[in-house]
Amino acid sequence: MSIPTAPPSGFRDFLPDQVALRHDAIETIQKIYRSFGFQPVATAAVEDLAVLVGQGGNENEKLIFKIMKRGEALERAQAEKTDLADLGLRFDLTLPLARYYTKHGSALPHPFKAFNMGPVWRAERAQKGRYREFTQCDADIIGADSWGAEVDVITAILTVFKAFGLAGVKVHLNDRRFVDQALEKAGVPAEKRGAACVVVDKLDKSEPEKVLAELEAEVGTEAAKALAGSIMAVEAGPDMLSAVQGEFAHLTRISDAVKSVMPDAVIVLTPNLMRGMGYYTGPVFEFRHPSLSGSLGGGGRYDRLTEKFGGRPIPACGGSIGFERLMLLLEELGRRSPDALPDAVVTVFSDELRGRSIAVAAALRAKGLSVDLYPGGGKLKVQFKYADQKKARYAVVIGPDEAERGVVQVKSLATGDEQALSLEEACARIAAGT
């Protein structure tokens, strides 16, 4: 039986150009997050199952990649027919951050502004822009109960999108407490409200008729009809407009404050915005782009999550960039990383002259150039083909004549033009791209 060479469904390999673009994007996001005062943190990829269950929403908890117990513990669990797993891969970065803050909060500034970037895993059906392994880029503020925290997070993420030149991004804004009020008014029992939110949250992924049918099955026809006229509405209706002038006036303050520093920002009050996680307690927001069926990122306020770990409730707000969808947009726009391409490839004329080639490559790198030294040997024709494949601008040749004269031959791979130059002259030409 042949061993497959493709990764499992929902997982991916990346070619060098893709990796370079991803690294550039990560560096841009990190730089912007830092400019807003967010500090980098890192959390474990694997968590105790107790960390991951209970607050993430039933749909996400069903998608946890669980890790089986090991050794005697596994044998005992098999014999006693108890749970075989005790660990799981994180499915987001927020639950691990709440655990992290509960553990390390005394050593951190208060309030604490953190950014965390890394892979997460969900065992869901793979499709375009949605994978089983994907990267999230989170910015969170723990310890601030002001709506200014939402403004800071939303503005930071919009600044990222602006840096990448993405036009047409809209911010959809809601408050989970408005949703709770609508559910109560519609007569949805408390024990079914979480499930109702999960169903309504599918509106951006499925047809409204299917969502309504699923909602009727979950909460009953009358309640579903009542919700269809309130939180299932695409645009803010009278109930929500009245609410944001009264109890939920902070939504207007958030919108106005973001627009005061980013006048081009488009912010839409969206009563059907749920966000699937069960830990949200206040304002929630989502970033959407017209070319994507799903969101480009999102987040919200989660003021009670630290209670899960035995700590006191600490106000918190955070947002996340959907990195894979961001990369999908950048690739469709034809973006590529300039750092993925070497400035030059230094060839190896012969084994006797390899030392000279090594020295030339090192000298060019010392001048700040990206230089690839051909790792093998053989004919120059083969080495020039390698330089073409690497999309280098120049090939550098040091044959016996060049070595004796103390020069190098610099060949433009675009024009075929060749010049014998001193090392300083070669460096200047390669750096200038002429």
When divided into structural domains, the chain yields a total of: 1
The pLDDT assigned to 417 comes to 92
- Residue 373 is part of which domain span? 341-432
> What pLDDT is recorded for position 427?
93
**In a domain? residue 414:** yes
Reference 103, options 142, 66, 129; nearest CA is 142
pLDDT of residue 251: 92
Query: What's the pLDDT score for residue 208?
Result: 78
Q: Residue 298 domain-assigned?
A: no
pTM: 0.88
Give the start-end residues of each E strand in 123-195: 133-142, 170-175
On whether residue 403 sits in a domain, the answer given is yes
Backbone φ and ψ for 153, nearest 5 degrees, come out as: -65, -45
Q: CB–CB of 391/414 below 8 Å?
A: no
Look at residues 73, 143, 136, 126 and name the one whose alpha carbon lies nearest to residue 314: 143
Widest CA span in the chain: 92
pLDDT tens-digit profile, the chain (434 residues): 789 999 999 999 999 889 999 999 999 999 999 999 999 999 999 999 999 987 655 666 789 999 999 999 999 999 999 999 999 999 999 999 999 999 999 999 999 999 999 999 999 888 777 899 999 999 999 999 999 999 999 999 999 999 999 999 999 999 988 888 888 888 888 888 777 877 887 776 777 788 888 888 888 888 888 887 777 766 677 777 777 778 889 999 999 999 999 999 999 998 888 876 678 899 999 999 998 878 899 999 999 999 989 888 899 999 999 999 999 999 988 888 876 789 999 999 999 999 999 999 999 999 999 999 999 888 999 999 999 999 999 999 999 999 999 999 999 999 999 999 999 999 999 998 76
- Is residue 326 domain-resident? no
Burial class (CB within 10 angstroms; exposed 0-12, middle 13-18, buried 19+) of 74? middle
Instruction: Name the β-bridge partners of 408.
Output: 421
Q: Is residue 159 part of a domain?
A: no
- The count of other CB atoms within 10 Å of the CB of residue 238 is 9
**Which is it for the CA torsion 26, 29, 35, 41, positive or negative?**
negative
Q: Cα–Cα distance between 333 and 356 in angstroms, integer?
A: 42
Instruction: Tell me if residue 132 falls in helix, strand or coil.
Output: coil
- 242, part of any domain: no
**Could you tell me the CA-to-CA distances from 181 to 178, 285, 305, 380 in Å, in that order?**
5, 18, 21, 74
- The per-residue pLDDT for 55 is 67
- Find the CATH number of the domain harbouring 426: 3.40.50.800
Is 399 inside a domain boundary?
Answer: yes
> Is the residue at 228 inside a domain?
no
